[in-house]
Homo-oligomer: A and B are copies of this chain.
Amino acid sequence: MPLHLPNAAPADAAPANAVHGGPTREAIRDAARRIGPHVRRTPLLRLSGTDLGLPQDIVAKLELLQASGSFKPRGAFNRLLSQTLPAAGVVAASGGNHGAAVAFAAQRLGVPAEIFVPEITGAAKRARIEGYGARLVVGGAAYDEARQASEARAAATGALLVHAYDQDEVLAGQGTVALEWQEDAPDLTHVLVATGGGGLIGGMAAWYAGTGVQVVSVEPEACPTLATALREGRPVPAPVGGVAADSLGARQVGARMFAVAKDHVAAAVLVPDDAIRAAQRLLWDAARVVAEPGGATALAALLCGAWRAPAGARLGVLVCGGNCDPGSVAG
């Protein structure tokens, strides 16, 4: 059920600090300077269509190689480094990757962290959070319950709440993925990005707005937060399920990302879980890259035909996380 939108900026538009609800390019540049000493500039890997069994080459950005195993430390560090941290430390709710990133950032900056996870969060993500020295709390059956528990805790202790996606500093931090990518691969015409709560694609679309680069959202059919919001014209609750729910299983997209996405996301497509599993296997077989389901979701759109590249397109595909049992990708 792909949803193609006609509203992306034309290719000849000049880059601009677009007027939208998301971060400005300058805020994203500031974030890059702020977080630079703490996060990795993740590498690109150019893969031939022949090697992938696809009609076109891709430029994969290997954000799974980021510290803590996903893009999330970019937003977490930008939030933590933008203010004076309370002695009570920081609190976050997370399906796992954001929690690991906040725990990692808190450890590096020397403040305590409490991370609220839903029951579906797997052993690999739990171990990572605790490995960074955070206190782990199971806060309910799904992400939304864990989020409510985390907000109550922050209100009670005075700790700084680090939202998984719907805060200005978080969007600006995640937008640094796009800043790096455009510097390192200025020839791309389209980038495919997985969407959960939307902090990543919101920050990236804010960076690319006005540049002519088309940002394509890919979501599991079982977690269609952005496609649903675009259809309804506002963020609304969507189903949460499927193989990528532990990283893409937000109940709905954030208001801040939606303000950007409604005008600056070129298409929002959905993929079935079996395409996500196939993308995980392909990344391992063709490139020895271990992506978690959410990390393989963007590539899945090319495998199952949910999105087709126009002639002459030069494609970027983001591999945004690798926090899974590595043995799970080869089956």
- Where the two chains meet, the residues of A that have a C-beta atom closer than 8 Å to any C-beta of B are 40-47, 50-51, 62, 64-65, 67, 69, 108, 284, 286-290, 322-323, 325-330
Contacts and interface: CB of A to CB of B under 8 A. Distances in A.
28 contacts: A40-B45, A40-B46, A40-B47, A41-B46, A42-B45, A43-B44, A43-B45, A45-B65, A50-B108, A51-B67, A64-B288, A65-B287, A65-B288, A65-B289, A67-B286, A69-B288, A284-B326, A288-B290, A288-B322, A288-B323, A290-B290, A325-B327, A325-B330, A326-B327, A326-B329, A327-B327, A327-B328, A327-B330
Contacts of A67: 51, 286
What 6 A-B pairs come out closest when comparing CB atoms?
Answer: A327-B327, A43-B43, A288-B322, A326-B326, A64-B288, A69-B288
Contacts of A108: 50
Query: Among the interface residues A41, A323, A328, A330, which one has the most CB atoms of the partner chain B within 10 A?
Result: A330
B43 A62 contact: yes
Contacts of A45: 40, 42-43, 65
A46 to B, nearest CB: 7
A282 to B, nearest CB: 13
A183 to B, nearest CB: 15
A53 to B, nearest CB: 12
A42 B287 CA distance: 10
Contacts of A41: 46
Contacts of A327: 325-328, 330
B43 A290 contact: no
A281 B135 CA distance: 24
A290 B51 contact: no
A43 B287 CA distance: 12
B322 A326 contact: no
Contact of A326 (B47, B65, B69, B330): B330
Nearest to A38: B48
Nearest to A50: B108
A131 to B, nearest CB: 8
A57 B67 CA distance: 14
A77 to B, nearest CB: 14
Query: Among the interface residues A43, A45, A108, A322, which one has the most CB atoms of the partner chain B within 10 A?
Result: A43
A269 B299 CA distance: 41
A62 to B, nearest CB: 7
A93 to B, nearest CB: 23
Query: Among the interface residues A64, A290, A329, which one has the most CB atoms of the partner chain B within 10 A?
Result: A290
Contacts of A330: 325-327
Nearest to A292: B288
A67 B43 CA distance: 17
